[in-house]
Structure 1
Amino acid sequence: MVDARDGLLKGTRNTYNFVLKALDVTQNWGVLQDSRHGEKFKKNFKHTIKRCLSSLDDIEKSNENIVHLKRVTDIDFSKLVSLDELKVAATNIDLVHRLEEILMQWYTQIEQVGYIKVSY
């Protein structure tokens, strides 16, 4: 069972780490113990788990670069969907100024991400 209380990614990584440690201390591998290719199968299985762990680490690093744009709570964007709704909103100068502020904040956030990626 995966404990995902701290997120599915961390829970999955913890589970794989637990399985890998359990495999390292396991002495009895059942029929693989006597199999001609048993050692090879065990080694490949452990290698696969390690690759999965590495992939999870890569995903976590990628997630660190994700930027969540500042959430807007004072405007109901669901009321700005149709062309008619947008035309009415465009006549409200205060709303237009607020939307410009939001777009500039988002632009600044996106621009900073671009600088971060370029600086690698």
Structure 2
Amino acid sequence: MHGMIVTDGTSEALIGNCLYFIKSDASTAINARNVHEEVNFGRFSCQNAGILTVLPALQQLLSKVHNPAAHALRNWGALSETPHGKKTKQIFLDSFDTFIDFINGAKTSISGAVKLHGCDSFDVASLLTPSDCLAAAANPDTVAILEDLVHHWCKEIEQVDNT
């Protein structure tokens, strides 16, 4: 089944192919005559990225498409005309490279994140409201289960923290 979701990315996870559109000038209305001049667009794939969907796709898009294009660009307009402009251009390119390195590091850090084991004897996801927590706290068996679970999680986090 195919479908399309339109989102700003805050409420829906990116999966599959992501098409993005960027309007360069918010004051200009878009119409059939100027859409090719006013809107930039692109696509990147978040397929087969597992839990990490956006970072690998963004890293690939920036490092394989936009960064080489920026480094290959010869005409930077007014920035190419003065020593200060040339320095500004180089600072931008260096910052772009650093940002891609940062994304790589973030991707590596997140992929090694702690994966806490679940609880078979209690559905932790059922604790949605304060009243759910109060009801669980009133049951000594549930409290014992949750204490054991949290204790186990602390040990898992300590193992990662000590590596």
Distance 1:4 1:14, change over 3 A: same
Is residue 20 of structure 2 the alignment partner of residue 20 of structure 1? no
Higher helix share: 1
Matched residue SS, 1:68: coil
Matched residue SS, 2:75: coil
Tell me which amino acid in the other structure corresponds to 1:36: T
Is residue 75 of structure 2 the alignment partner of residue 75 of structure 1? no
Q: 2:55 pairs with 5, 9, 18, which one?
A: 9
Q: Is the 8 A contact 1:2 1:11 kept in 2?
A: no
Which residues in structure 2 correspond to 1:30-49 (within 5 Å)?
A: 30-33=77-80, 35-37=81-83, 38-49=85-96
Q: Is the 8 A contact 1:3 1:11 kept in 2?
A: yes
Question: How large is the RMSD of aligned CA atoms in angstroms?
Answer: 2.9
Deviation at 1:53, TM superposition (A): 1.4
Deviation at 1:14, TM superposition (A): 1.8
TM-score by length of 1: 0.66
Q: Is the 8 A contact 2:116 2:153 kept in 1?
A: yes
- Measured in 1, the distance between the counterparts of 2:58 and 2:162 equals 32
Larger RCO, structure (CA 8 Å, separation 6 or more):
1
How many pairs were matched up? Answer: 110
Structure of greater Rg: 1
Q: Which runs of 5+ in 2 are unaligned?
A: 1-41
Deviation at 1:12, TM superposition (A): 2.1
Deviation at 1:25, TM superposition (A): 2.4
Deviation at 1:16, TM superposition (A): 2.1
Higher strand share: 2
Q: Which runs of 5+ in 1 are unaligned?
A: none
- Measured in 2, the distance between the counterparts of 1:80 and 1:74 equals 16
Q: Once the two structures are aligned, what percentage of the paired residues are identical?
A: 20
Which residues in structure 2 correspond to 1:42-57 (within 5 Å)?
A: 42-57=89-104
